[in-house]
A and B are shown apart, each in its own frame.
Chain A
């Protein structure tokens, strides 16, 4: 599965500014809801917070992968957001989080869901990738970086 096939370019946020965990999730959900008629921002926020309550998706090294299943959605969608300053996301290593990759999937999508999560996690294990995303000057830059990584693996 390619991440570029599910990334919603118009929902990417390049500069989140300094805010809390809930604001990040809310802003990403709202951005996605704006371009995806099947997604309702409040409902998505609820799902994401539920998942974070179980355990933070902040996997360390400045990366978080919030995700959840949403009824009524008919395909997988993803978006990306970045915070230059870093946000306290209760991540595993206690460090501020800069990169947020959001994944939303239909209710019954076990295998595809896990595969997409695995792939995104794998991208972020590459420190060059993280650095390039951090350095991206424009939306195009950021998307191109993801596209390149997607083509590589």
Chain B
């Protein structure tokens, strides 16, 4: 596929790298000429220095013959112009536009006229709020994604030293623990490696193990991974911007203290007006005295979602030290990720990874309903409808010989969730959840081809 990406920031470059690896033909456009020059040296893609919102630049990037244009710059307005030109002038069949301000969507729809079905909007704030809400639904988890209309959760738990799971083989769990309740270990993050486990792989202390869990059996799973009930209820959010406000709207119960702390006075004021049930404070999120004054020790969940991700880490660190229960922080920079567990933060959310997942979903297309990525962007979970014309439905799971590093995590058949073994077969029409490392994702694509 020929793809033009406008915006050479972290999201644009990660996408460019990733899609090149998947054998797509990529041109990256960035208006910072110096950065473009550096990118052309480090990336194995065609890079053009120039403003993507200029017709000549887009033409030079090959928009006329592109199958897809992705507008991922930091400016909504620039992305909108790139999208509009691609759509109306270059007649590009599909465009993905990053819009931070949900209000811009209306404007874009208006300009796209009868071509709105070709457009996909990706909103990083919305995606982050979605993922945080999913995460908070599962106590103790480091990462959570839900699939199949919410029936199936894929949740990652850290295996502690005293965990009864340490030392078990995946097969022991499947044969003994999970024979009667649909649960399955589907990925293991160990040191810097990601493992798609086979029966003989053993769980080790400090592993981050992802389980596919039937939502109805979540309670049993939590006991198994030693998650203890927290009686505290208060919610505290550092950062009252779009994500913070959305979280209060989703998680707010009105029955507990919901506190937002915001450094920007105007944003604090606006948040206070839109969220009458919550307490909005104007102050520094890293102000220890303020956190203490607001009873941080009674807080069961602390979420740091300011636009400054380093501040989020510091705020998260402070909150944890002052006694907050579960601490979640918005962190995009991959270099900061290794710090997270060291400073006691329980989970991080990366809008960059989320936006990449949402964009990939558009590229994979076909019967693929959704693509989600776990913590980093090295594991991919694909929710696909099984077509009778693919290899997927041609025999039992052991017979169809899935590519190595690919695992069938779950099936949804007639609204019933199944976690299949080698002797089971996928029926046409089943929804199939597959897990793979990103290196093996192209192999999976070939496998799913009709």
Contact = CB atoms under 8 A, between A and B. Distances in A.
Interface of A: 1, 51, 54-57, 59-60, 65, 67, 92, 110-115, 117-119, 121-122, 125-126, 153
A38 to B, nearest CB: 22
11 contacts: A92-B171, A111-B219, A113-B220, A114-B224, A115-B164, A118-B173, A118-B177, A119-B164, A122-B167, A125-B167, A125-B169
A55 B175 CA distance: 7
Q: Which of B168, B169, B221 has the most CB of A within 10 A?
A: B168
A82 to B, nearest CB: 19
Contact of B172 (A1, A59, A115): A59
A67 B175 CA distance: 12
A114 B175 contact: no
Contact of B165 (A1, A56, A65, A118): A118
A65 B176 CA distance: 7
Nearest to A113: B220
Contact of A121 (B176, B180, B221): B176
B179 A115 contact: no
A114 B168 contact: no
Contacts of B165: 118, 122
B223 interface: yes
Contacts of A67: 176
B166 interface: yes
**Which 7 residue pairs of A and B lie closest in terms of their CB atoms, listed nearest first?**
A111-B223, A110-B220, A118-B164, A121-B172, A119-B164, A114-B224, A122-B167
Nearest to A69: B180
Contacts, number: 68
Contact of B166 (A113, A114, A122): A122
Contacts of A1: 164
Contact of A111 (B162, B171, B173, B220): B220
Interface string B208-224: 00000000010111111
Contacts of A119: 164
Nearest to B223: A111
A104 to B, nearest CB: 14
Nearest to A65: B176
Given A51-B180, A54-B180, A125-B167, A118 B224 contact: yes
A121 B177 contact: yes
A92 to B, nearest CB: 6
B171 A54 contact: no
B166 A55 contact: no
Given A110-B223, A113-B220, A122 B164 contact: yes
B201 to A, nearest CB: 12
A111 B222 contact: yes
Contact of B179 (A51, A110, A125, A126): A51
Contacts of B171: 59-60, 92
A112 to B, nearest CB: 7
A121 B177 CA distance: 9
